[in-house]
Amino acid sequence: MTKDELVTKIAEDAGISKKEAGAALKAFTGSVSGALAKGESVSLVGFGTFSVSQRAARTGRNPQTGATIQIKARKVPKFKGGKALKDAVN
């Protein structure tokens, strides 16, 4: 499902215009991104939890040249699905 398809589905299910649904989706993703940037987690009971995970520095290899490179430590976003979401998928 693309972002446009998601906006259309939200608009239909909520009985609002696509413009309002697009604004709501943009506000949601912006809020989650902002919270993750601050190092906070966002928990939606039954749906899942968005969080930030720390990835350690490691040694990698350039596949084209075979040269060893050092990959820096960094933070990555993570999502863990909730029980209701897992049950809906299965």
**pLDDT of res. 49:** 97
Which CATH superfamily does the domain covering 41-90 fall into?
Answer: IHF-like DNA-binding proteins (4.10.520.10)
What global pTM score does this model have? 0.79
Where do the DSSP E strands lie in 19-84? 42-44, 48-55, 58-61, 68-71, 74-81
> What would the pLDDT profile of 1-35 be if each residue is shown by its tens digit?
999 999 999 999 999 999 999 999 999 999 999 99
Sorted by sequence, the CB contacts under 8 Å of residue 43 that are 6+ apart come out as 49, 50
